[in-house]
Amino acid sequence: MKSTRETPPAGPPARRARKARDAERSRVAILDAAEQLFAELGFQGASLAAIAERAYVSVGLPGYFFGSKDDLYQEVLQRVFERRDAALDVVATEAERILDESPDDGEAALRRLISGYVEFLLNNPTFVPLLTRDALERIGRREGRPRHSERFAERMIRIMARAGVAEAEEAPEQLFLSVIGMCYFPLEHDTTIVAGMGHRAWARAFQEKRVTHVVRLLRSSA
């Protein structure tokens, strides 16, 4: 027999849960919009009003959730760095597993390490312009908090040492800078130097060749 009981209307707990979900969606939308605009325009160029417009929220909502523009900027950077750290932890673990299973296959481990870092950059297109604009706006000021992943840097050097790269033992910090530069520089200068050479640094085909080149350079010092 069909029940004649009616479903009771949603009470205050349901309304509070709905408001909480709506608030979280707005907060995430603001962070997404801020990340895009800070990458496009830099800290100085992106206003809270423009961020609100991009996020499709009321003009006062970014300030309500995050306080000042600087606080929002720091939150954006923190989120970007956490995303980077999580992705690169996986990459380093995969490269280490290759060496654990095949200690003599240094080339495969290096390829996974370099290709994984490049994949992160390609899959997170705001990362390079965001950090480039951050660096430009900090000219003349030394940042106490590192912008790179110290954990990934340490793991990268250990993996390269296990893969037989001599510089990993002799000049680890210089090697780290060189490897990051070789991967990062073409993307940063896609519209200048790389474009002048007739290439597109953000193209997958270009990056496949780039990874092969970087691995070959590393293997030449093994």
Is pLDDT of 192 > 50? yes
pLDDT range class, residue 6, cuts 50, 70, 90: low
What's the rounded Cα separation, in Å, for the pair 20 and 31? Answer: 17
Q: Are 215 and 107 in contact (CB under 8 A)?
A: yes
Average pLDDT (9-29) is 73
CA 98, chain centre distance (Å): 24
pLDDT range class, residue 20, cuts 50, 70, 90: low
- 98: tokens are 């290759």
DSSP class of 67: S
Q: Which fold has domain 18-67?
A: Arc Repressor Mutant, subunit A (1.10.10)
Q: Radius of gyration (Cα) for the chain, nearest Å?
A: 23
| 16 against 170, higher pLDDT | 170
The residues spanned by each domain of the chain are 18-67, 77-138+149-222
3-state SS class at 174: helix
Percent of all residues in the chain with a pLDDT value above 90, rounded to a whole number? 81
Is pLDDT of 70 > 80? yes
- 210: tokens are 């780039």
Is pLDDT of 42 > 90? yes
DSSP class of 155: H
Is pLDDT of 5 > 60? no
Average pLDDT (192-198) is 96
pTM, full prediction: 0.86
- Among 156, 213, 216, which residue's Cα sits nearest to residue 180? 156
| 210 against 9, higher pLDDT | 210
Q: Are 48 and 59 in contact (CB under 8 A)?
A: yes
Q: What pLDDT is attached to residue 137?
A: 87
What's the rounded Cα separation, in Å, for the pair 91 and 19? Answer: 38
Q: Taking all residues of the chain, what is their mean pLDDT, rounded to a whole number? A: 91
